[in-house]
């Protein structure tokens, strides 16, 4: 019988397919303790899972790591979910993890959910109860550990935004037995003595167990009762603690909390400056409008030529007097002409003029006799002649 030699690649490829075909190795749950944990700069996680007698290489790709609710590290017991496959280049089989959670955390999760539901029903998370943060807090109270990167991050971000920031750190243990009580006490002291205008309650990332103080009822109630607004920044962005729900605001990280709480002094100064400019412009505009109104008034003839009205009236008066004089003169002239006309008419009609031409007027009983029938025999009549009168008797 002749053996046909396989290449190494062929062999590994064959094994890979064999394993891939096996449903018992697809989407399985494995229990073990993490060791040799490496979070590669590419974002992938490399580690081994082991128990007392054995180990298996594991890899978790970056995209799956975002869903982790804890920070994996050596010595942590976990339940890993994934698929076994072969990495052909190295000829190794490994577990490609898609999800992972801490083993033995079941009871903690349950307690967390129970307390969360209870407090939610009581209204501790209600939006109405949440206080607004001061825009310009004079003193920033920080409740966190006085060691580690959290306080440093907060100080760095705060001083960058406001170089003259006033921070009061009240150091509290952020994990372990009794931490919750200490945190609650710190919140109470800050309130009683009014030591800050706003509080940041902060802790870096950690396992659910590490973050536990922030899930304790005593802390939740202290936050709820605080008159000072509280920003909670516990763990990583994906971690939600009960203190996050009760606090007036949740920040994804301690640095973000500082960003939220400490106003950017440059912005504030700019705001103030803008107000100054707006005030000045508004007043300038007002004065300008008033000046224009004043000028408009001043342009009126009442002010530019105050005598004009008087003069105008003088002219008017003069004209009236003139027209009055005219009309009287006219009337007089007219009457005079009429009178002369009448006189000459009268003169023309005067009987005296007729007498001068040799006529005479016969009067009887003081009436002018015009017809022969008016005269009888022996009537005495008066004869009026040019230069006198004589009596006569009719024959």
Residues that bind another protein (CB under 8 A): 134-136, 138, 146-147, 151-152, 155, 159, 163-171, 189, 193, 195, 265, 268-269, 271-272, 275-276, 278-283, 285-287, 289-290
Contacts of 324 (CB under 8 A, 6+ apart): none
The bridge status of strand 55-60 relative to strand 92-102 is parallel
Is the CB of residue 221 less than 8 Å from the CB of residue 164?
A: no
Which CB sits closer to another protein, 25 or 155? 155
Work out how close the CB of 133 gets to another protein at its nearest, in angstroms, rounded to a whole number: 10
Work out how close the CB of 248 gets to another protein at its nearest, in angstroms, rounded to a whole number: 16
Which CB sits closer to another protein, 85 or 159? 159
Which CB sits closer to another protein, 105 or 201? 201
Which CB sits closer to another protein, 155 or 218? 155
Which CB sits closer to another protein, 105 or 150? 150
Three-class DSSP category at 344: helix
Work out how close the CB of 189 gets to another protein at its nearest, in angstroms, rounded to a whole number: 6
Which residue, chain included where needed, has tokens 């994996």?
Answer: 72
Rounded Cα gap, residues 42 and 59, in angstroms: 12
Which CB sits closer to another protein, 279 or 394? 279
Which CB sits closer to another protein, 273 or 350? 273
Rounded Cα gap, residues 76 and 102, in angstroms: 7
* Residue 218, token pair as written in the block: 């005593």
Work out how close the CB of 291 gets to another protein at its nearest, in angstroms, rounded to a whole number: 10
Rounded Cα gap, residues 58 and 321, in angstroms: 125
Work out how close the CB of 275 gets to another protein at its nearest, in angstroms, rounded to a whole number: 5
Which CB sits closer to another protein, 268 or 362? 268
Work out how close the CB of 284 gets to another protein at its nearest, in angstroms, rounded to a whole number: 10
Rounded Cα gap, residues 243 and 100, in angstroms: 25
Work out how close the CB of 193 gets to another protein at its nearest, in angstroms, rounded to a whole number: 6
Rounded Cα gap, residues 254 and 94, in angstroms: 37
Which CB sits closer to another protein, 106 or 148? 148
Burial class (CB in 10 A: 0-12, 13-18, 19+), 339: exposed
Work out how close the CB of 67 gets to another protein at its nearest, in angstroms, rounded to a whole number: 32
DSSP 323: H
Rounded Cα gap, residues 216 and 178, in angstroms: 10
Is the CB of residue 131 less than 8 Å from the CB of residue 248?
A: yes
The alpha-helical segments, DSSP class H, found in 262-357 are 265-299, 301-304, 307-349, 351-356
* Residue 192, token pair as written in the block: 């009683």
Which CB sits closer to another protein, 15 or 268? 268
Which residue, chain included where needed, has tokens 């005479």?
Answer: 360
Work out how close the CB of 233 gets to another protein at its nearest, in angstroms, rounded to a whole number: 17
Work out how close the CB of 240 gets to another protein at its nearest, in angstroms, rounded to a whole number: 28
CA 18 to chain centre: 66
Residues 191-216 as b/e (b if ≥16 CB within 10 A, e otherwise) read: beeeebbbbbbbbbbbbbebbbbbbb
* Residue 11, token pair as written in the block: 């062999």
């Amino acid at each position: 019988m002749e053996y046909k030699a396989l290449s190494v690649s062929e062999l590994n490829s064959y094994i890979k397919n064999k394993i891939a075909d096996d449903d018992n190795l697809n989407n399985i749950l494995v229990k073990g303790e993490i060791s040799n944990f490496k979070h590669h700069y590419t974002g992938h996680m490399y580690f081994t899972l082991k128990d007392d007698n054995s180990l298996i290489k594991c890899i978790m790709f970056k995209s799956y790591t975002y869903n982790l609710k804890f920070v994996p590290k050596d010595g942590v017991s976990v339940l890993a979910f994934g698929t076994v496959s072969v990495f052909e280049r190295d000829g190794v089989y490994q577990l490609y993890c898609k999800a992972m959670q801490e083993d033995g955390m079941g009871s903690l999760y349950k307690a967390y959910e129970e307390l969360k539901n209870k407090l939610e029903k009581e209204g501790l998370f209600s939006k109405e109860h949440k206080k607004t943060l001061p825009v310009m807090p004079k003193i920033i109270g920080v409740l966190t550990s006085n060691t580690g990167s959290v306080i440093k991050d907060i100080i760095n971000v705060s001083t960058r935004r406001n170089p003259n920031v006033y921070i009061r750190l009240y150091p509290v243990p952020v994990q372990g037995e009794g931490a919750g009580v200490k945190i609650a006490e710190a919140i109470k002291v800050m309130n009683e003595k009014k030591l800050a205008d706003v509080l940041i309650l902060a802790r870096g990332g950690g396992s659910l167990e590490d973050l536990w103080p922030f899930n304790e009822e005593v802390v939740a109630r202290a936050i709820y009762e605080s008159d000072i607004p509280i920003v909670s920044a516990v763990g990583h962005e994906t971690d939600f603690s009960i203190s996050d729900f009760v606090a007036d605001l949740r920040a994804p990280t301690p640095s973000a909390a500082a960003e939220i709480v400490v106003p950017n002094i440059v912005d504030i100064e700019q705001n103030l400056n803008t107000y100054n400019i707006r005030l000045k412009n508004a007043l300038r505009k007002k004065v300008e409008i008033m000046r224009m109104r004043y000028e408009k008034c001043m342009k009126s003839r009442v002010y530019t030529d105050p005598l004009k009205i008087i003069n105008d009236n003088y002219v008017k008066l003069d004209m009236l007097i003139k027209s009055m004089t005219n009309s009287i003169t006219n009337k007089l002239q007219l009457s005079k002409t009429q009178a002369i006309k009448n006189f000459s008419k009268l003169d023309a009609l005067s009987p005296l003029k007729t007498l001068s031409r040799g006529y005479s007027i016969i009067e009887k009983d003081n009436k002018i006799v015009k017809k022969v029938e008016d005269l009888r025999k022996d009537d005495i009549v008066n004869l009026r002649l040019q230069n006198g009168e004589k009596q006569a008797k009719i024959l």
